[in-house]
Chains A and B, each alone.
Chain A
Amino acid sequence: MSEKKTNRRDFLFTATYAVGAVGVGATVWPMIDQMNPDASVKALASTEVDVSSLTPGKTITVLWRGKPVFIRRRTEEEIAEAKSVKMEELKDPEKDEDRAKNPEWLVMLGVCTHLGCVPLNDKGDYNGWFCPCHGSHYDISGRIRKGPAPTNMTVPKYEFVNANTIKIG
């Protein structure tokens, strides 16, 4: 290889490209970032739900950040069924205890982890939920058992503000 001396012009080219790249990046980024959730969307981060009217075996659906959240008050049999499932049978192994801190209450995003449809209550082969779009079956703990969905339905951050009120988010 012939040795090439770095001269003044090479330095100016490199410096111009570098500054130009930074300039283009700084101009393009606002154009891209404007599409991300804005301040008003982010502000609606939490929802409080009164669950006093919910009887065992019933599910209500509430809207949180534009997404449905299932709140199910489970019966004794349902809790027993959810706890009896062996980890080897699960596609996305997760203990029921980790999903429902208070086993009577299951709170999770009512969004199928396949392509985002809302699964139907009390349907499917595992007495839980069934997604009508592409046929994913979830059990009574909201865990994926059959179908194309890769993971269990997501449990959002939530807490009991008092005995009758759940705060999601």
Chain B
Amino acid sequence: MSDQEYIPKSKFGKWFNDRLPLLSLASHLTDYPTPKNLNYWWTFGGILTFCLITQIVTGLTLAMHYIAHADMAFESVEHIMRDVNYGWLIRYIHANGASMFFLAVYIHIFRSLFYGSYKSPREIIWIIGIIIYLLMMAAAFMGYVLPWGQMSFWGATVITNLFSAIPLVGEGIVTWLWGGYSVDNPTLTRFFTLHYLIPFLILGLVVLHIWALHVPGNNNPVGIDIKKPSKDTVPFHPYIVIKDGFALLMFMIVFAFFVFYAPNILGHADNYIEANPLVTPAHIVPEWYLLPFYAILRSVPDKLLGVIAMLSAILILAALPWLDTSKIRSAVFRPLYKQFYWILVADVLILGYVGAMPAEGLYLLIARVATAYYFLHFLVILPVLGLKEKTLPVPLSITDPVLGGSPNIAMAKNKESLSQ
């Protein structure tokens, strides 16, 4: 990976590095050649790492006070909020941190979609990312169950019941997941265990995600292959470190706003009522970051097909590098794809909105159209577009269009006038 062999200056450093090349790794990470045209959409990898560490640290401290028992969980969360020193702060950071984590991951994913970062040779990075995303959803769902409020209990009931849609063995699987005949104490204790485990699995996958990234190097807004290192790259430190750091500060302002000024705005009031297996809240909705998939689930009038549609909506992303047949990565040079991209963004936002609304009347109709379009985008539009679309000429390097020395000068000027 490292282009030059790194030799530590000190004698001890050399002795240590010969036995465990940690210094070589550090050198690789600081010198890592990065495309010099990365924009702020590329800072979310760093932000996501920050989110993961935040969730692990606050989660560890919460676990010192939380009691995973159906009779005591709800009370222990209130105990954290009222009695534990700074318990309110730690819990609000953890709860809102989940939302911030998803906010960042959605921006990160949609950045990949726009600039074609999932395409060859970065398919494995992308697929690892999808697995991380799935694990994040599992962790978030189980974490939401732990306070044992009404939404916790009924959210757990509804989501685990998704498995009952599987023919023949479904009911048995659900009973096995519950450890009983309904969501109860055995369910809570196992969810707590898994909620504790998953972040560390994610951490391991993040290491693989970055490792896989460092093989071909970063994609960039122009989406072309670049030589590393060259005049098209800058070393990761200090250039990208400073830029990522600045973006992280901006992100933390948003984070802090939610924690200190609107800590409950993303939650549901029903979850401050203790779990009651006899009463379902009038309107069950998942957390905002799962709403688009919830809308897809509800838009299909058949139980099994609804579950299949919801799972496919997520898993279809893993096949994206092969569904998108276009060789051009960046949407900057794909005028038609760019438009379909924004339609997809709108489609997902609409799905999120109708997912929060009751599944009836006009909302249901909109959900059905939006669901159909979602699959149409990935299964029909993308494969066809790659073959039919007339793409714009791509510059030979990142530097060329800027200096005006490239054969694509006309394109560069055209782009400038477009952006004005």
> B283 at interface (Cβ–Cβ under 8 A)?
yes
CB-CB < 8 A to B83: which residues of A? none
A116 to B160, CA, bound (A): 9
Contact A116 B284 (CB under 8 A): no
Contact B280 A66 (CB under 8 A): no
Contact A36 B179 (CB under 8 A): yes
Contact B161 A35 (CB under 8 A): no
A133 to B154, CA, bound (A): 10
Count of residues in A whose CB is under 8 Å from the partner chain: 28
Main DSSP-derived SS at the A contact region: loop
Stretch from B111-119, B241-249, B295-303 at the A interface:
B295-303
- Give the contacting residue for A37; candidates B180, B278, B302, B360; CB below 8 A: B180
What distance in Å separates the Cβ of A143 from its nearest Cβ neighbour in chain B? 16
What distance in Å separates the Cβ of A126 from its nearest Cβ neighbour in chain B? 16
Contact A116 B157 (CB under 8 A): yes
Contact A66 B181 (CB under 8 A): yes
If the complex has contacts A63-B278, A115-B161, A149-B303, are A41 and B180 also in contact, measured as CB distance less than 8 A?
Answer: yes
> B45 at interface (Cβ–Cβ under 8 A)?
no
What distance in Å separates the Cβ of A61 from its nearest Cβ neighbour in chain B? 5
Contact A68 B277 (CB under 8 A): yes
Contact B359 A134 (CB under 8 A): yes
Residue from the set A37, A119, A133, A149 with the largest chain B CB neighbour count within 10 Å: A133
Contact B181 A38 (CB under 8 A): no
If the complex has contacts A66-B277, A67-B277, are A115 and B162 also in contact, measured as CB distance less than 8 A?
Answer: yes
> A132 at interface (Cβ–Cβ under 8 A)?
yes
A38 to B298, CA, bound (A): 34
Contact A35 B179 (CB under 8 A): yes
- Give the contacting residue for B182; candidates A66, A115, A132; CB below 8 A: A66
Contact A41 B181 (CB under 8 A): yes
Closest to A147 in B: B301
| Pair count A-B, CB < 8 A | 90
If the complex has contacts A117-B280, A118-B279, are A67 and B359 also in contact, measured as CB distance less than 8 A?
Answer: no
CB-CB < 8 A to A57: which residues of B? none
One digit per residue, 1 when the CB lies within 8 angstroms of any chain A CB and 0 when it does not, for chain B 310-332 equals 00000000000000000000000
Contact A116 B158 (CB under 8 A): yes
Contact B301 A37 (CB under 8 A): no
> B17 at interface (Cβ–Cβ under 8 A)?
no
> B13 at interface (Cβ–Cβ under 8 A)?
no
CB-CB < 8 A to A118: which residues of B? 277-280
Contact A65 B181 (CB under 8 A): yes
CB-CB < 8 A to A35: which residues of B? 176-177, 179, 186, 190
A148 to B160, CA, bound (A): 17
CB-CB < 8 A to B176: which residues of A? 32, 35-36
Contact A41 B277 (CB under 8 A): no
Contact B359 A135 (CB under 8 A): yes
What distance in Å separates the Cβ of B285 from its nearest Cβ neighbour in chain A? 10
- Chain B residues in contact with chain A, CB under 8 A? 154, 157-162, 164, 175-184, 186, 190, 277-284, 298, 300-304, 306, 358-360
Which 4 A-B pairs have CB atoms at the shortest separation, nearest pair first? A66-B182, A116-B161, A65-B181, A115-B161
Other than the given A38-B179, A114-B161, A115-B158, 13 more pairs (CB < 8 A) read A37-B178, A37-B179, A41-B179, A65-B181, A65-B182, A67-B181, A115-B157, A115-B162, A116-B161, A117-B158, A132-B284, A133-B154, A133-B280
- Chain A residues in contact with chain B, CB under 8 A? 32, 35-38, 41, 61, 63, 65-68, 114-120, 131-135, 147-150
Q: 14 A-B residue contacts at CB 8 Å?
A: A36-B179, A41-B180, A41-B181, A65-B180, A66-B181, A67-B182, A68-B278, A115-B158, A116-B164, A117-B284, A132-B283, A133-B154, A133-B158, A135-B359
